Structure 1
């Protein structure tokens, strides 16, 4: 019996050490959220964590982490730069499962699931050419500013996380009603100060953070390499001219087009926005040196494109006259089998004339004329009144003659 105990002693000691180490780490994670150590024993959170462990043994968790392996270090670095605990990275997992292309029925999109209006308030472009809610870096920068604003308002990170889910107004009313901002009070299932979704949301984010930082859990999986994620950025930002094609960059630099598109989900087309002189795209860091050696800008302007949405009465002939581009070129470029167009059909117009490019750029702005109202401008340019307000930082409906509005 004594011999058996001696044989088992190293295992028992190592198991105890592993438990102690993991417990210390979990306490540290709770501290990152400004949550007291006693929350470790929250039954709902523990049930969620334990059931998730079982679910994630089926690779759901690991696959999401593995798919995001390339950009997670960059996202964490941005959060750290803004003074945000890196554990809040798991908000993105709770929101989108680390998928930049995630889209909800409520029209939230991207890694951090921004709604269009919130996205624009934090400087993200959402238009016919780009949806920067799907931009890994710009959306994380925006999420960092948003989280910092919430933290400044509420003073605790767990409150910022809850507000991220249910909104600052709803959380403010909940705190006022509860006369407390303590987590245990706000999570009261009978008082329901905050919605059930938010009560589960904060627990889910914490549970994911604990699982994602559980070394023993990762060591037992085939995804042990996730422990070796470097802190150094594994993607690089490079500047390319307007209208540059991802396919061209792919061929020049030798980056698989699927990988390049995966890092640049925010581009709605194969090319960068034509209304800017240059635009940032992302490539794997290991390809940066090759990009500097092999990439060159085309001096001609035929890599500039315009998206045209067919209106009532449009046909290929009048569209070709508008942009001074052969209707056959438009037909070939869009692989059209006939000259017939449907209402709201999107056409890509390759522009080969500098004057056309300059004319097109001005279409994104509108000079207010006498008698104009936000509603009349909205109807004419198919842009919502709210979008015009947000883009131009307008408080009300009044606009002055001669004012330049961004559309």
Structure 2
């Protein structure tokens, strides 16, 4: 028994020593690994690239089968595309990167080389597609980046984020060309609701990205750390800096960053390189024939993209591409002015035909978004209970008289027509939504004061309209009754006064006789 106790006691003394020795070995290996990472900016045999960005696994054929494929059908006739490339020495890579006119440093090491090889060899078709998209979006990015006084080469970061696809969604829920998460997008001023998602708007999201870049550069003062924070957040970057003993170089904190972020900066350098030197790798871009000549108009009415496309004879897919922020193709301009990007040729036509666009098949395209009211008896149903009519203002009318005629409020008419006052000029056409009570209706022809004959859909038993008429009639009868009573009272008073006067005269004469 004593031997067993002695053996257990000896073992208890040995185990902590072994644990401490193992901790020392782990710490030494970690320090050696950190030393290996610290020299990645120079020649090294280390070739770990972390996790390949999600967008590099995107199906290029699926992208080309979309609407854009109709416009990405022109290859450069002066470019010869070869699938095989001769090996490129490190000295050539390093020289090419050093000659790129950028503020953000384009460093070279084995990790960057491997990332370049992925683009130049395994993802050649993706590069061709991205270059076609770059013709469309890079001019927009450069304009906004220059406005914020930021390096123009930040435009290449959108390739790592989304392959320049404005409708890209990640598995984590990030959306748009710049892949904003919903809370971050709202934090940087993007409007996100059931109808609008400005993360999908290339221009609005670029402004938000620039605000982020400015803020992070003011925090870190290093562009590589700014790029890393865009991927994993500033908190993860600060944590990596603390774990690295306060060192602030990207390559020094490299082993302490999340795996995906480790490859983020090298792939950014690789994307910048391949977009600049694609010809040296025999990659022929697919040029887009889609015109970038567009103009923006402000919409202040409720409108559907299909209304615009049908009336202006513009390709609906083109409108969707130019205005991806409208998730359900509804432009809620009646709430606040909303931008609508159109081909330049269609801009003037839009200005001339705004009313026609708003009225075109509105009951079909906008039925789910028109104002709805519950019936008077409180019984609701799923059928539309409102109907839009067009009313021409007659001489001497104002919003109150028109509202009283249709059983609505003047405030509602102002809202539906974006009016500021209750005064409306004669001849102006107003949009009015009347309650149909959920019953069937037939078209009824009415004559406007200007002689134009219009067809107005009216309910056979519009409760609210009838109630309004009844209230008006009752009020008029009550007023007439009150007026009659006042007149009768006045006549009665006059008669009584006359009788009293006659009686006084008779009394006076009788006194004189006496």
TM-score (norm 1): 0.64
User: What is the deviation of 1:21?
Assistant: 9.3
Is the 8 Å Cα contact of residues 64 and 98 (structure 1) preserved in structure 2? yes
Decide which of 122, 125, 132 is 1:66's aligned counterpart: 132
Decide which of 310, 318, 321 is 2:380's aligned counterpart: 318
User: What is the deviation of 1:97?
Assistant: 1.1
Structure 2 vs 1, CA of residues 300 and 61 (structure 1 numbering), >3 Å: closer, same or farther? closer
Q: CA RMSD in A?
A: 4.0
Structure 2 vs 1, CA of residues 294 and 164 (structure 1 numbering), >3 Å: closer, same or farther? closer
Range that drifts further, 42-51 or 159-168: 42-51
Decide which of 190, 194, 198 is 2:257's aligned counterpart: 194
SS across alignment from 1:280: strand
Is the 8 Å Cα contact of residues 65 and 98 (structure 1) preserved in structure 2? no
Q: Specify the alignment match of 2:497 in structure 1.
A: none
CA distance in 1, matches of 2:169, 2:123: 22
CA distance in 1, matches of 2:179, 2:312: 32
The residue correspondences of 1:227-376 to structure 2 (distance < 5 A) are: 234-283=293-342, 287-295=343-351, 296-298=353-355, 303=362, 307=369, 318=380, 324-325=385-386, 355=412, 358=415
Q: Deviations over 1:23-62 (max 9, x none)?
A: 5552254952245xxx32x1011011012201233x1111
Decide which of 128, 148, 152 is 2:214's aligned counterpart: 148
Q: Deviations over 1:266-294 (max 9, x none)?
A: 101222025523210223xxx31441245
Corresponding pairs, count: 302
- Is residue 56 from structure 1 mapped to residue 119 from structure 2 by the alignment? no
Q: Which runs of 5+ in 1 are unaligned?
A: 1-14, 309-315, 330-352, 362-407
Q: Deviations over 1:178-227 (max 9, x none)?
A: 2211122122xxxx221111110111111001101115247x3442758x
Structure 2 vs 1, CA of residues 107 and 278 (structure 1 numbering), >3 Å: closer, same or farther? same
CA distance in 2, matches of 1:68, 1:250: 26
Is the 8 Å Cα contact of residues 45 and 207 (structure 1) preserved in structure 2? yes
Larger Rg: 2
Q: Which runs of 5+ in 2 are unaligned?
A: 1-85, 371-377, 389-409, 419-514
Q: Specify the alignment match of 2:97 in structure 1.
A: 26
Q: Deviations over 1:335-362 (max 9, x none)?
A: xxxxxxxxxxxxxxxxxx9728949x9x
Structure 2 vs 1, CA of residues 124 and 91 (structure 1 numbering), >3 Å: closer, same or farther? same
Decide which of 261, 285, 305 is 1:223's aligned counterpart: 285
Decide which of 230, 236, 239 is 1:164's aligned counterpart: 230
- Is residue 46 from structure 1 mapped to residue 113 from structure 2 by the alignment? yes
CA distance in 1, matches of 2:414, 2:320: 25
Is the 8 Å Cα contact of residues 134 and 164 (structure 2) preserved in structure 1? yes
SS across alignment from 1:125: coil
Structure 2 vs 1, CA of residues 85 and 244 (structure 1 numbering), >3 Å: closer, same or farther? same
